[in-house]
Structure 1
Amino acid sequence: MPAPKLRVARPTSQLPALVRFYHDGLGLQILYSFEGHDGFDGVMLGHPQAPYHLEFTAQPGHEIGRAPNPEHLLVFYLPEPEAWQTAVARLHEHGYAPVPAYNPYWDRQGLTFEDPDGYRIVLQNADWQQ
């Protein structure tokens, strides 16, 4: 059986700011976007060949709050040091500074960044150990 594809979907009140963070800063590609679809605007970001993508939706007039806890994480494993350094530099170039991880484990081989909604991503310079 083929592995399923994963969509992580999340609402936001700051769609343009999230696109800037995940597209410009993190380097994900815009795979699809829409406006006014049943009252929602949205964008899907990822890599065309990856088995996952992120979807962010906004509904005009509805305020979405910040992340409820700093342990809400998306972890990107980048085992090659050069690729990891390039990803970190890209975020820095777009004005995003790392924040201390809530769980110190993530600071040992990675850096944590907070998106405009307060959700966090970790760029982990390690292989994914299953």
Structure 2
Amino acid sequence: MRTFRPACIARPSRDLAAAERFWVDGLGLRVLYRGAADGPGEHDLADRLVRACGTRVSAGPYWDRWGVTFADPDGYCLVLSTRAWSNG
């Protein structure tokens, strides 16, 4: 039997309702937390990640300028950023 570890996904969205339909209704994930902030690290999410065994790390000059990076207990990185995203 395969054992799966939980994964948390946090990202900005232009259309929160559409994103939630995709991730929750389509994929079956749950919304665990929803917050608003003016910038990375400017709300309690950063503190919550540290309390939950996350470690603040550097992901290089670009991400240090535009975001806050945390390593999870397995060493995988999560970058919180307020930078606009474009696939165009």
Q: If the length of structure 1 is used for normalisation, what is the TM-score? A: 0.38
Aligned length: 67
CA contact (8 A) 1:79 1:125 kept: no
Residues 26-78 of structure 1: CA distance to partner in whole angstroms, max 9, x if unpaired? xxxxxxxxxxxxx112255457926347xxxxxxxxxxxxxxxxxxxxxxxx9
Which residue number in structure 2 is paired with residue 51 of structure 1? Answer: 22
Q: What percent of counterpart residues are identical? A: 30
- Structure 1: state its 5+ residue gaps: 1-38, 54-77
Whether 1:41 and 2:12 are equivalent positions in the alignment is no
Alpha-carbon distance between aligned partners in 2 of 1:41 and 1:127, rounded to the nearest angstrom = 35
Whether 1:105 and 2:76 are equivalent positions in the alignment is no
Alpha-carbon distance between aligned partners in 2 of 1:82 and 1:126, rounded to the nearest angstrom = 9
CA contact (8 A) 2:55 2:72 kept: no
- Structure 2: state its 5+ residue gaps: 10-18, 28-34
1:94 to 1:108, Cα distance in 2 relative to 1, 3 A = same
1:86 to 1:127, Cα distance in 2 relative to 1, 3 A = farther
- More helix, by proportion: 2
Deviation at 1:119, TM superposition (A): 1.6
Higher radius of gyration, 1 or 2: 1
Deviation at 1:83, TM superposition (A): 7.7
Which residue number in structure 1 is paired with residue 49 of structure 2? Answer: 91
CA RMSD of aligned residues (A): 3.4
